Amino acid sequence: MTEAVSRPTLEAVAARAGVSRATVSRVVNGGDGVRESLAERVRQAVADLGYVPNQAARSLVTRRHDAVAVVIAEPESRVFADPFFALQLRGISKELTAHDNQLVLLLTEGRDDHARVARYLAGGHVDGALVFSLHLDDPLPGLIRAAAVPTVFGGRPHGSAPGGAGVAYVDCDNRGGARTAVRHLVDLGRRRVAHITGALDQTSAVDRLDGYRDVMADVLGGADPGLVVQSDFTPAGGERAMRELLDRCPDVDGVFAANDLTALGALRVLRESGRRVPQDVAVIGFDDMVPVAEQTDPPLTTVRQDIEEMGRLMARLLLSGLPGGRGRGRGTARTPAPDARAAPDGGVILPTTLVRRATA
């Protein structure tokens, strides 16, 4: 661990190039309206000295930080249990990097942390925030609104309503994906199609349940309520739910699980019970967590969402909404991704696709 040395300033570069600080500043920041010969001299001096602008000094006057906070609430939760989190972060990081913004990571675990994060965001240390807050009772969204920081949410936040206030968010098409999955089971000839829900205090779980109901109502004239079992996105929860299901409806012939982890648990119980998958019971998951979905026995058919793209999109959306026309470099807010869709409540929805493996 070495000590950092003092670095050259604008002043030094100016002296070396034989110009004023103002000129150097112009060159360093895009440099319009500077004679090319001078600009070249400046660039040379910058290179010679290894000059790097002092971001603190710059922020002090511009009030911009070129930094964005990524807030992840309750890392215990699902977000942390799977590569979801990492992939999303990767997408965000790529986009921010492409626009020379830094990523400040804020992980929260409880009450005190909420206050801390709120204070930080309100403190104007970053230009905006990307927020993942899954649970219904999370106070964070409210605090963030109060902090008046430009924000994009990851996943449809609670309280967003069609035609509503227009909170910015990015989500995958949970409802549509669920519909595709269930319709696929129906197309396979299954008539007793069950759904093991996710944690219903998360909008993704609610939306997937809605998608399931859509198809059941449409195609089968409404679902037997006994075919819906509440669970929590975990393998253990999936096991429990599947057992209950088998108990209640031994004739079940199709299962749409709220996510791959749940499907994993269900699969295990199905095997224990002597049922063959997919012959006796077809199973579909959600997420396409590849390491899980490919390793189940048999490999899991599931609904894929492009998680990294969601992250990228969140960042792009945030940057494009910030003053200074950032984020216009590649892609714009209007057409964030070739196939993204605008939701009526101001969100952006990414499509899902069914990945057929062996369970359905």
Partner DNA sequence: ATGAAAGCGCTAACAA
Partner DNA sequence: TTGTTAGCGCTTTCAT
Q: Which residues bind DNA (CB under 7 A)?
A: 6, 9-11, 18-23, 25-26, 28-29, 33-35, 37-39, 51, 53-54, 57-58, 60-62
When the beta carbons of 34 and 355 are compared against DNA, the nearer one is 34
Which of 59, 77, 230, 353 touches its own copies by CB under 8 A?
Answer: 59
Min dist. Cβ of residue 123 to DNA (A): 10
Q: What string of H, E and C letters represents the secondary structure of the chain?
A: CCCCCCCCCHHHHHHHHCCCHHHHHHHHCCCCCCCHHHHHHHHHHHHHHCCCCCHHHHHHHHCCCCEEEEEEECCCCHHHHCCHHHHHHHHHHHHHHHCCCEEEEEEECCHHHHHHHHHHHHCCCCCEEEEECCCCCCCHHHHHHHHCCCEEEECCCCCCCCCCCCCCEEEECHHHHHHHHHHHHHHCCCCCEEEECCCCCCHHHHHHHHHHHHHHHHHHCCCCHHHEECCCCCHHHHHHHHHHHHHHCCCCCEEEECCHHHHHHHHHHHHHCCCCCCCCCEEEEEECCHHHHCCCCCCCEEEEECHHHHHHHHHHHHHHHCCCCCCCCCCCCCCCCCCCEECCCCEEEECEEEECCCCC
Angle at Cα 229 formed by Cα 227 and Cα 234, nearest 5°? Answer: 140
Q: Report the partner that residue 124 touches, choosing among its own copies, DNA, none (CB closer than 5 to 8 A by kind).
A: its own copies
Residue 2 in the binding site for its own copies (CB under 8 A): yes
For residues 228 to 267, the per-residue mask of contacts with its own copies, x marking binding by CB under 8 A and - elsewhere, is -------x----------------------------x---
Please say which residue, 61 or 137, places its beta carbon nearer to DNA.
61
The C-alpha atoms of residue 336 and residue 93 are separated, in whole angstroms, by 16
Cβ of residue 326: shortest distance to DNA, in angstroms? 14
The only residue of 3, 36, 137, 247 in contact with its own copies, by rule CB under 8 A: 3
What minimum distance in Å lies between the beta carbon of 332 and DNA? Answer: 23
Instruction: Check binding of 43 to its own copies (CB under 8 A).
Output: no
| Binding letters toward its own copies, positions 318-347, x by CB under 8 A | x--x-x------------------------
Pairing of strands 282-287, 102-108: unpaired
State which of residues 148, 165, 217, 342 lies at the interface with its own copies (CB under 8 A). 148
Residue in 16, 26, 41, 65 binding its own copies, rule: CB under 8 A: 65
* Residue 135 binding partner per list DNA, its own copies, none, with a CB distance cut-off of 5 to 8 Å that depends on partner kind: none
CB of 315 to DNA, least distance (A): 23
* Residue 164 sits in the site that holds its own copies (CB under 8 A): no
Least CB distance to its own copies at residue 322 (A)? 8
Residue with tokens 């500077």: 34
Q: How many CB atoms lie within 10 A of CB 77?
A: 16
Question: Can residue 291 be called a binding residue for its own copies (CB under 8 A)?
Answer: yes
| Contact status: 116 vs its own copies (CB under 8 A) | yes
The residues of the shown chain that bind its own copies, judged by CB under 8 A, are 1-5, 7, 50, 52-57, 59-60, 65, 67, 70, 75, 80-83, 85-87, 89-90, 93-94, 97, 102-107, 109, 113, 116, 119-120, 122-125, 128, 145, 148-152, 168, 235, 264, 291, 295, 318, 321, 323
